[in-house]
Amino acid sequence: MKQTSDEVLFEQYRQGDRASLRTLIERHQPDLLRFLIRLTGDVPGAEDVFQETFLQIHLSADTFDPTRRFRPWLFTIAANKARDYLRRKGRRRMLELSAPVDGGGNDEPAGSFVDLLEIDLPGPDARLDSRETSAKVQKVLDQLPPMLREILLLAYFQRLSYAQMHDELDIPLGTVKSRLHAAVAAFAKKWHALNAGEPS
């Protein structure tokens, strides 16, 4: 049986079917929480922003354009809520994503930024090196300016093209390209410095 699309589910919710929103929440929870944890830098903050995001989805339901895709709209709202959260906390945090990175000199295989960003939060039985790598990635992400961090994470989690990011974020195409290029360069510089033991 074919899965009901996000857009159809959200339209059903707008027509009064509350169960449709629950389905959307459950469908997007894993990816959206991972995105928010990377963006905010902490689990409790990410969980708060997750709840605020779906509250905003409810409040803004009438403004959704049913000819557009639901997922980019959801992640854009989540990014805005995360930005508000970081501002409230007084934090100043915030590729080609397939660009290769080295493994840190420990005979680890080379990977890509996508591979690094894709690491899940480790469970209690996770291997130590996975925990260490995940912590390193978060440390580097935490050092990026908010708008660079946001566009890098949005580009990865949504796999948006430049044109789609321009459309969804309402910023010029040239700005999208320059921000993503800057995010890649900043991440690479800080990642290599961290692995070389240099001050970032």
- Ordered by where they begin, the domains of the chain are 6-88 (1.10.1740.10), 96-196 (1.10.10.10)
Integer angstrom CA distances of residue 55 from 21, 59, 61, 65: 11, 6, 10, 18
| CB 127 within 8 Å of CB 67 | no
pLDDT of residue 125: 43
User: H-type helices in the chain, by residue range?
Assistant: 6-14, 18-40, 43-59, 70-88, 113-117, 128-143, 146-158, 162-169, 173-196
Residue carrying the six token digits 């809520």: 81
Q: What angle do CA 71, 146, 137 make, to 5 degrees?
A: 85
Q: What angle do CA 187, 167, 24 make, to 5 degrees?
A: 85
Residues of the chain with pLDDT under 70: 1-2, 90-131, 156-158, 198-200
pLDDT of residue 2: 65
pLDDT of residue 13: 92
pLDDT of residue 51: 92
Beta bridge partners of 101: 111
pLDDT of residue 101: 46
